[in-house]
Amino acid sequence: MTATFGHTELPPEQADALRRAVRLAWVTIGFLLVGVTVVYLVMGSSQAMKAAWAEDLLSFIPPISFLVAVHLARRRPTVGHPYGYHRSVGVGHLVAAAALLTMGSFLVLDSGSGLLAAEHPPVGVMHLGDHVFWAGWPMIGAMVVTGVPPVFLGRAKMPLARTLHDRVLYADADMNKADWMTALGSVVGILGIGAGLWWADSAAALFISVSILRDGITNLRVAGRALMDARATTVEGDRPHPLLQRVDAHLRSLPWVAEAGSRVRDEGHVFHVEAFVVPRGGRVPGLDDLVAARESTIALDWKIQDLVVIPVDQLPAELLPGVEAAAGEHG
């Protein structure tokens, strides 16, 4: 069966990446079900463990959002949705970011108040048959068991997110890669309690909470820009996508084009391009010229789902060289 996003047929590399990403999402969900249960059973009254458990709960959102977005993005465009359903990726990214921001804010306030109130969380003992041992050891064991595998899952997802240009998958991978910090913070907090440092637990919880809050702010900013039709960027959201320059360079290379500039809208996995071209000598291009320009540009990359070529006598002001740099200085 051919893998597609809407009416975009995926090349073999992207089709294979999509299949692997879907498998990894299901593996992540299965692992989280076990991890959340284990952490809940041993967390006791530790603030750091509660924060880690909350982060594990939040970690369900990105893989579920990814699976839902992929399912919707496969639908072909309709009369009601002529651009297709690729924005489902942006919506999923926004939902995940909002959840991280909300929970991160709550946990920062909760752990911060516990630190200010000088709360002393008790970590007692556990009985296993005739053996009695400190309850902190199962907590530490749980964090090691549940904190290490997500790091490898994140490293496996990261290149797939770039290959598919999927920001939900990228956010999921980024969170997974950082899970070792959550595990380490929890372990430090628990050992601090054992050493008589009452503040270590709340401090570790605050560290984890700030990490969650930072992820929420970062992802919310990138998701918001994408949904507001900002210029298409890389999946990390930190620089313009290199495909933008390739599109303009290709159009300028056509023998009948004097100048070209494009507006590129990131729909999720794919781009929609409005390409403005200034014909040489002011001549009106023929239909064959326009069709050839459109088809050859779409063939540059699978992410160009659709492209409109618009002949103009001069480029729109926002596409003129130097305007973007000036806007950046003032905005």
First vs last C-alpha separation in the chain: 47
Question: pTM here?
Answer: 0.81
At residue 132, the pLDDT reads: 63
Q: Assess whether pLDDT exceeds 90 at residue 28.
A: yes
At residue 128, the pLDDT reads: 61
Higher pLDDT: 192 or 26? It is 26
> Rounded CA gap, 208 and 292, in Å?
54
Strands 131-134 and 257-266, sheet pairing: unpaired
At residue 10, the pLDDT reads: 86
**Domains in the chain, start-ordered, CATH in brackets?**
4-227 (1.20.1510.10), 243-330 (3.30.300.30)
At residue 324, the pLDDT reads: 47
Q: Assess whether pLDDT exceeds 50 at residue 328.
A: no
Backbone torsions φ then ψ of 259, nearest 5 degrees? -150, 155
Six-digit token string for 319: 């596409």
- Express each pLDDT in 200-251 by its tens digit: 777 877 887 888 788 888 888 888 888 888 888 888 877 889 999 999 999 9
Q: Assess whether pLDDT exceeds 80 at residue 39.
A: yes
- Express each pLDDT in 136-165 by its tens digit: 778 888 888 888 888 899 899 999 999 999
Higher pLDDT: 176 or 262? It is 262
- Express each pLDDT in 259-310 by its tens digit: 999 999 888 888 999 999 999 988 889 999 999 999 999 999 999 988 999 9
Average predicted confidence (pLDDT) for the chain: 83
Six-digit token string for 134: 């400190």
CA-to-CA separations, 172 to 16, 38, 47, 166, in angstroms, rounded: 19, 21, 24, 10
Backbone torsions φ then ψ of 124, nearest 5 degrees? -85, -145
With beta carbons less than 8 A apart as the criterion, state whether 166 and 21 touch.
yes
Strands (E), the chain: 4-5, 8-9, 125-128, 131-134, 257-266, 271-279, 304-311
Average pLDDT of the residues in 86-91: 86
> Rounded CA gap, 67 and 62, in Å?
9
> Rounded CA gap, 21 and 16, in Å?
9
Average pLDDT of the residues in 168-196: 79
Q: What residue type is assigned to position 95 of the chain?
A: V
> Rounded CA gap, 101 and 32, in Å?
20
> Rounded CA gap, 271 and 302, in Å?
9
- What value, to the nearest 5°, has the Cα angle with vertex 301 and ends 298 and 307? 30
At residue 280, the pLDDT reads: 92
pLDDT band at 325 (very low <50, low <70, confident <90, very high): very low
Q: Assess whether pLDDT exceeds 50 at residue 331.
A: no
> Rounded CA gap, 177 and 179, in Å?
6
At residue 123, the pLDDT reads: 60
> Rounded CA gap, 187 and 144, in Å?
8
Q: Residues 6 or more apart from 242 whose CB is under 8 A from it? A: 234
At residue 57, the pLDDT reads: 85
Q: Assess whether pLDDT exceeds 70 at residue 316.
A: yes
